[in-house]
Amino acid sequence: MVKGKVHKYPDNVDTDVIIPARYLNTANHAELAAHCMEDIDPNFKEKVTRGDIMVAGWNFGCGSSREHAPIAIKESGIACVIAKTYARIFYRNAINIGLPIFECEAAADGIEDGDEVEVDFSSGKINNLTKGESYQAQPLPEFIQNIVNKGGLLNSLK
């Protein structure tokens, strides 16, 4: 269960705006986080606090396969991402690095920027504390929960 303030984004947020390629000359997580969302929300790194939640529309994370994108989001302190749908490589990458991620159209429509939101990872229940609404996302399938619980894909293989 996590609770945090929402940073809301539109449809088709691509990995080039999540972490522009000009910063891909490093794999250092902190350096990547320093430029997270820079081309879509230049003040993101000042606004974000640990435990916040990112919400977006359709096809979040489209484009490049760069794992640097979910890494930058996770390292920024984002505890969970909720979107209507995800581009498939971003979806895989988020799970593989242990960034919890949910698909929920109703939540993405109902939640606004700045809302206080609570997410229960095991049930997929999302509560909007600001608006007094709740939404139901599909909980993660069991084999994916296993990867997340073990701290990522590679740890689950050991």
- From residue 147, alpha-carbon distances to 40, 75, 154 in Å are 30, 19, 8
**Binding to other proteins by residue 157, rule CB under 8 A?**
yes
Q: Which two tokens stand for residue 37?
A: 């969302």
Question: Least distance to other proteins from the beta carbon of 6, Å?
Answer: 22
* Nearer CB in complex with other proteins: 10/51: 10
Residue 42 CB burial class (10 angstroms; 0-12, 13-18, ≥19)? exposed
DSSP category for residue 63: S
Binding mask 11-50 for other proteins (x = CB under 8 A): -x-x-xx--xxx-xxxx-----------xx----------
User: Does residue 128 belong to the site contacting other proteins (CB under 8 A)?
Assistant: no
Residue span binding other proteins (CB under 8 A) among the ranges 99-107, 111-119, 122-130, 149-157: 149-157
How many Å apart are CA 119 and CA 134, to the nearest integer? 10
d(CA 27, CA 62): 20
Q: Is 141 exposed, middle or buried (0-12, 13-18, 19+ CB in 10 A)?
A: exposed
Q: How many residues bind other proteins (CB under 8 A)?
A: 40
Interaction of residue 66 with other proteins, rule CB under 8 A: yes
Q: For binding to other proteins (CB under 8 A), which residues are involved?
A: 12, 14, 16-17, 20-22, 24-27, 39-40, 58-59, 62-68, 70-71, 85, 87-89, 92-93, 96-97, 141, 143, 152-155, 157-158
